Structure 1
Amino acid sequence: MGIRLGSVVINCADLDVMTEFWAAALHLAPGPVVDEGRFRVLRGRRVNVSLQVAESPVGARDQMHFDLYTDDQAGEVQRLLALGASHVRHDHDPSDDYVVLTDPEGNEFCVCAVTEGA
């Protein structure tokens, strides 16, 4: 599988308004609201847009980030670190295992573990 862009995550204040706009703008199908009403994936054929309610006012630098999907999370994290990324944290949730890294300019992105065929 290697690594692929799985979702662009947009931090927002109003999940319903953003769902209506992005689903219509990009012809995406809204998934269920999860994480206590704070997160929703809008699904497309090739890429997803995820909406996430921000805990603080959204600024330009933290508006969105990449989620990269891979079936070799450890290997890809090591490869990206060797390219100049920095490690922020690893969230070990059985249903959502991801590593947060930053690029050389400090922009965060996630490397998400997925099973074959996901």
Structure 2
Amino acid sequence: MVRIATVVMGASDVRRAAEFRKASLGHVEREPAKDDWVVVLVPAEGPGAGLALGRSGTPVQEVPRVHLDLYTGEQDAEVDRLIALGAARVDRDLYPDDPDFVVPADPEVNRFCVIDTTHG
């Protein structure tokens, strides 16, 4: 049986993307980056999927086919923290009534969801 070990994302500025993801997820670099072509991040403590950021010139999709879901019991505080780290709020007309998620975009304009685990 296989398992997801690392999610790979493209970035135009790998270093900026890595700094945002390290601060937002609490990940660390698996090993010191030798250049700004690719950076692999892993959880600082315990198990979990890694995140590899590789240089890409491909334009970001407005509605991506794949995105990250981040779970938290303190959605408002986490969204505020992520905005302070450089994320931006995304205006969406596709929200359902009473959503359990908020969609920000990282500094590379990749959208992701912040899911409220306390939402009933």
TM-score (normalised: structure 1): 0.44
Kindly indicate which of the two structures has a greater share of residues assigned to strand: 1
